[in-house]
Amino acid sequence: MNCASVRNLLSAYLDSELAGSEMQQVRAHLEQCPTCRAECDDLREVKSLLRGLPPCCAPNGMEERLKAALSQAERPLPLRVEPSVAAGLTLAAAAAIAGFFVYTLIKPPTEPTMAGEYPPAMHRQIDGTRDFERARSPFSGHTIPVSLDDGHSGR
């Protein structure tokens, strides 16, 4: 092990947090390197001094201030839209709705089809598929059951 890697592991070494092989490698390096050993001794003294300090308490009101700051940070910022953009979007939506209603009022009426009837294009396709039990729908790409002229139905 080199000095840089040992220095990174000194705190964990002093707290006995290293695996057995790492503990042995750090210990072997400290026996050979006076610089790292001196740094280890200094760190051991600092840890000892810190353990000797009395526990400290947070200042009065600190918890409330911290909670207030966190609640402020969690609030999403309000979405601000320029009035001209909002007016433009509203106008566009109103125009789209009005256009839909105008289209439905002026389009020519279509003849209602009875259940089971197919449009003329579908009849042409069905007539050409007498050898098949099912015809392919031009609208969905799925097969549909057909009634053949001889009274049998395809499945």
Q: What are phi and psi of 72, to 5 degrees?
A: -70, -40
Tokens of 42: 């200094």
**Contact status, residue 14 vs residue 45, Cβ threshold 8 Å:** no
Q: Where are the domains of the chain?
A: 3-52, 117-147
**Token pair 């031009």: residue:** 138
Tokens of 30: 């400290």
Q: What is the pLDDT of residue 101?
A: 82
**How much is the pTM?**
0.38
Among residues 91, 110, 123, 53, the alpha carbon closest in space to that of 144 is found at 123
The segments of the chain whose pLDDT lies below 70 read: 74-77, 109-155
